[in-house]
């Protein structure tokens, strides 16, 4: 804070930022050059104020010049990405915590008893290599026909598979908590609804567009009032799909509309029409309709017509 | 079925780790692009802004027709570019009849638009038009001084937002140690009216003075322009709170008088003030005393009742 008369600058040394809130620029426009000059002089004062505090910091001399430790900035600016979530402990870490198992650093070079040499722990020519064992002694619990070498290979495969499964599980729990490690991306390749284990084919952009269009226009209003996502393009074929036959028959071509109606009639009046048309049902439907029209309707709102009452005699003379 | 995608090369892994969200973040990179039409001044502005921010800016040269930052659907392209280039600030220039020499400065949070401010550029002077001694020319990537003058930056909300955006834009990396010989540039922003800001870029000349602190002299070198505030969009209140959160906000409160013991579990200590036995008078709870008080109360009530009756009778 630098006090000069009544001017107090707000200085943020961490950002090399200075703000003078008290200067008033003349509202009457003086010439451009004078305005520029005024701005630069005000700026010089502010930079001088920051430099005063900056050069008074304890500095260490280096090859390039005096190095100064900057304080952290005081103006709060928004972050560019969200805060990272703390990683949930893996199953092994939980177990180790519970049991009190400490991590021990392993050496890269280990002493091999069989060859009396120092060998590396992992990699080429390693200690305790599975493939190097020439003889496996038979135990009392071994079955006669079993191959112990194959068994060892099998066991190793199982162990590797189990570890891979556990690793995936740990990543899934981390993804659930939103704390996936930055270099891993977990992608869902299949919907869990489908029962098949085969991977679904990758659908192309055009096919997806067609399907989306179909879905949109299959609503009663033809997809007119559907809420659209930002950036979504309108469906290719908008509105309802109607197929209209030409009204005027083209030269040489049979009248399509006539053909259509004739086809239907033909089917109904043909010898085998009883297979298409359920005559009994049709008759029943017709009769029901007729009866409903004639006899008393069950309209409770409408006053029931009293048939016993006679109409007033209309004078024929009038 | 979940598929794990991990990078196949070490370089890719390092890039992904660099772009991951961290407690202490890297400096924000700027994306500079333009829309369908640009004028000569606007293309010069964008080019010079890119030169000023050389180490931390990416400039796209093709025109982008479907970017409209202020419309709800027009920011998808921007967000995609921000994701691909890992840029959190963008400067989008466009020139239309309604808004000539238009520059939209915006910031992103998690690669989604956080806030926008639109300014019009007037009285632009390119850095080529300034003549100065080449020795004092500022070096690329040096940390600048940023100065704001004018009460407008405190009173007008749009100017307040512009101040924040300009600080973010010009700030560069946040460093712990600073080499004092490398200070050679300053940005001066002056609020000459509630809607206009004069921005200029100067080089710093350090002159000998009697004390350790050198005398500062500023020489205009860089582009200078007038920014006229047009539209702006402030961030959502909830989003703003989330973006301003930092890990050092509330240091973990040390819980006192509680300790963990493996054998006995969690134990706490309670402090009771000293009981002064014999000093305080004990309450007299003997039966006789109680009855007397009760009877006494009854008498009192009777008297009061008769008194009120008397009053009533007199009325």
Q: What is the pLDDT of residues B102-140, one digit of tens each?
A: 999 999 999 999 999 999 999 999 989 998 888 888 888
Asked if A68's CB is within 8 angstroms of B180's CB, the reply is yes
- Kindly state the average pLDDT of the residues A216-223: 76
ipTM of the complex: 0.74
For residue A166, which residues of chain B lie inside 8 Å, CB to CB?
Answer: none
Beta partners for A3? A8
pLDDT for A286:
92
Q: Are residues A163 and A123 in the same domain?
A: no
Q: What is the pLDDT at residue B307?
A: 66
Across the interface, do A47 and B218 touch by the CB < 8 Å criterion?
Answer: yes
Q: A33-37, A264-268, B69-73, B163-167: which has the highest mean pLDDT?
A: B163-167
A42 closest CB neighbour out of B72, B167, B190: B190
Q: Does A40 contact B202 at a Cβ distance shorter than 8 Å?
A: yes
Residues 6+ apart with CB under 8 A from A170: A90, A91
Contact across the interface for A78 and B107, Cβ inside 8 Å: yes
Among the listed ranges A193-197, A222-226, A304-308, which one has the minimum average pLDDT value? A193-197
- What pLDDT does B272 receive? 87
- For residue B246, the chain A residue with the least C-alpha distance is A83
Q: What would the mean pLDDT of B274-303 be, rounded to a whole number? A: 78
Q: Which residue of B has its CA nearest to A29?
A: B192
A252 in a domain, yes or no? no
pLDDT at A254 over 50: yes
Share of chain B above pLDDT 90, in %: 50
CA distances for B68 relative to A234, B64, B121, angstroms: 19, 9, 18
> Which pLDDT does position A6 carry in this prediction?
43
Band of residue B88 on the pLDDT scale cut at 50, 70, 90: very high
For residue range B23-63, list pLDDT tens digits in order. 888 889 999 999 999 999 999 999 999 999 998 899 999 99
Q: How many domains does chain A have?
A: 3
CB-based contact B179 A66, cutoff 8 Å: yes
Contact at CB, B109 and A25, closer than 8 angstroms: no
Contacts with B76 from chain A: Cβ below 8 Å? 230-231
Do A44 and A60 have their domain in common?
Answer: yes
Return the higher-pLDDT residue of A57 and A302.
Answer: A57
Q: Parse chain B into domains and list their residue ranges.
A: 26-235
The stretches of B109-265 forming alpha helices (DSSP H) are: 152-155, 157-171, 237-244
Closest CA to B105 of B170, B154, B61: B170
Nearest to B151 among A21, A42, A67 (CB): A21
Of B21, B107, B213, the CB nearest to A51: B213
Contacts of A27 in chain B (CB under 8 A): 193
Least confident of A69-78, A117-126, A218-227: A218-227
pLDDT for B70 beyond 60:
yes
Is 80 exceeded by the pLDDT of residue A307?
no
| A81·B21 Cβ contact <8 A | yes
The encoded tokens of residue B197 equal 């800001």
- Give mean pLDDT, residues A174-194: 73
What is the predicted pLDDT for the residue at A238? Answer: 67
Q: What is the mean pLDDT of residues B61-85?
A: 91
| Better-scored residue on pLDDT, A55 or B297 | A55
| pLDDT class of A302 with cuts at 50, 70, 90 | low
pLDDT tens-digit readout, B224-263 = 999 999 999 999 899 999 898 877 766 677 888 888 888 8
Measured CA angle at A98 (ends A93, A101), to 5 deg: 65
Average pLDDT over residues A223-229: 76
What confidence score (pLDDT) does residue A3 get?
46
Mean pLDDT value of segment B87-101:
94
- Mutate one of A26, A35, A43 to test the B interface: name it (highest B CB count within 10 A): A43
The answer to whether A17 contacts B146, with C-beta atoms less than 8 Å apart, is: yes
Average pLDDT over residues B276-289: 76
Same domain, A173 and A123: no
Q: Within a domain: residue A38?
A: yes
Would you place residue A316 in the very low, low, confident or very high pLDDT band (cuts 50, 70, 90)? low
The region, left, alpha or beta by phi > 0 then psi within -120 to 50, assigned to residue B17 is alpha
Average pLDDT over residues A145-172: 91
CATH topology for the B26-235 domain: Rossmann fold (3.40.50)
Residues near B198 by beta carbon (within 8 Å), at least 6 away in sequence? A35, A36, A39, B188, B189, B190, B192, B224, B225, B226, B227
pLDDT tens digits, residue range B213-227? 889 999 999 899 999
pLDDT band at A221 (very low <50, low <70, confident <90, very high): confident
Range of the domain at A110: 106-135
Average the pLDDT over B149-161 and give the result: 92
A150 with A190, same domain: the answer is yes
Q: Which residue of B has its CA nearest to A42?
A: B149
Whether pLDDT at A155 is above 90: yes
State the Cα angle at A105 between A101 and A110, rounded to 5°.
120
Which among B204, B170, B141, B207 is positioned nearest to A40, based on CA atoms?
B204
Q: Minimal Cα distance from B156: which residue of A?
A: A21
Q: What is the mean pLDDT of residues A275-296?
A: 85
Q: Give pTM, 2 decimals.
A: 0.65
| A230–B20 CB contact, under 8 Å | no
């Amino acid at each position: 804070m630098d006090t000069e008369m009544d001017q107090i600058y707000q200085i943020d040394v961490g950002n090399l930022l200075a703000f003078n809130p008290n200067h008033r620029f003349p509202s009457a426009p003086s010439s451009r050059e004078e305005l520029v000059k005024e701005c630069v002089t005000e700026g010089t004062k502010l930079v001088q104020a920051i430099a005063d505090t900056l050069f008074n910091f304890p500095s260490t001399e280096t090859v390039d010049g005096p190095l100064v430790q900057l304080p952290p900035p005081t103006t709060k600016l928004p972050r560019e990405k969200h805060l990272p979530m703390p990683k949930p402990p893996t199953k092994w870490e939980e177990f180790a915590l519970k049991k009190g198992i400490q991590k021990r650093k392993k050496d890269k070079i280990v002493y091999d008893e069989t060859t009396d040499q120092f060998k590396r722990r992992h990699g080429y020519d390693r200690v305790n290599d599975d493939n190097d064992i020439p003889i496996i002694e038979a135990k009392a619990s071994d079955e006669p026909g079993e191959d112990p070498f194959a068994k060892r290979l099998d066991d190793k495969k199982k162990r590797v598979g189990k570890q891979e499964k556990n690793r995936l599980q740990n990543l899934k729990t981390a993804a659930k908590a939103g704390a996936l490690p930055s270099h891993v991306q977990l992608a869902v390749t299949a919907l869990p609804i489908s029962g098949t284990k085969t991977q679904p084919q990758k659908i192309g952009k055009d096919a997806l567009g067609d399907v989306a269009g179909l879905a949109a226009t299959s609503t009663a209003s033809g997809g007119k009032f559907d809420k659209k996502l930002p950036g979504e393009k309108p469906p290719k074929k908008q509105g309802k799909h109607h197929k209209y036959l030409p009204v005027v028959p083209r030269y040489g071509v049979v009248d399509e509309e006539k053909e259509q109606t004739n086809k239907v009639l033909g089917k109904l009046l043909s010898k085998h029409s009883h297979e298409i048309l359920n005559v009994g049902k049709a008759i029943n439907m017709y009769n029901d309709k007729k009866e409903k029209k004639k006899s008393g309707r069950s309209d409770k709102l409408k006053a029931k017509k009293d048939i016993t009452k006679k109409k007033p005699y209309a004078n024929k003379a009038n | 079925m979940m598929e794990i995608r991990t990078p196949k090369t070490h370089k890719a892994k390092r890039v992904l780790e660099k772009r991951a969200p961290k407690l202490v973040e890297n400096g924000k990179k700027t994306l500079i692009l333009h829309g369908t039409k640009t004028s000569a001044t606007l293309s010069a502005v964008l080019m010079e802004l890119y030169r000023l921010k050389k180490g931390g800016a990416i400039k796209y040269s093709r025109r982008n027709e479907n970017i409209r930052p202020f419309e709800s659907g027009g920011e998808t392209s921007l967000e995609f570019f921000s994701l691909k280039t890992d840029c959190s600030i963008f400067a989008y220039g466009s020139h239309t009849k309604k808004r000539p020499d238009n520059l939209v400065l915006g910031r992103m949070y998690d690669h989604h638009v956080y806030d926008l401010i639109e300014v019009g550029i007037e009285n632009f002077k390119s850095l080529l038009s300034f003549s100065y001694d080449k020795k004092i020319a500022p070096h690329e990537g040096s940390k600048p001084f940023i100065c704001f003058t004018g009460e407008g930056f405190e009173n007008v909300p749009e100017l307040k937002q512009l101040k924040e955006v300009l600080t973010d834009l010009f700030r560069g990396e946040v460093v712990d140690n600073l080499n004092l010989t490398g200070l050679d540039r300053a940005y001066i922003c002056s609020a000459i009216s509630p809607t206009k800001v004069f921005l200029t870029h100067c080089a710093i000349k350090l002159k000998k003075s009697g004390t350790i602190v050198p005398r500062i002299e500023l020489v205009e070198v860089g582009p200078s322009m007038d920014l006229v505030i047009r539209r702006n969009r402030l961030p959502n209140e909830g989003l703003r709170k989330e973006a301003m959160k930092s890990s050092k906000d509330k240091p973990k409160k040390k819980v006192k008088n509680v300790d963990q013991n493996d054998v006995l579990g969690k134990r706490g200590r309670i402090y009771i003030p000293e009981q002064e036995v014999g000093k305080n008078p004990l309450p007299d709870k003997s039966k006789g005393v109680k009855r007397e008080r009760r009877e006494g109360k009854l008498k009192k009530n009777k008297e009061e009742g008769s008194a009120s009756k008397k009053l009533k009778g007199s009325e």
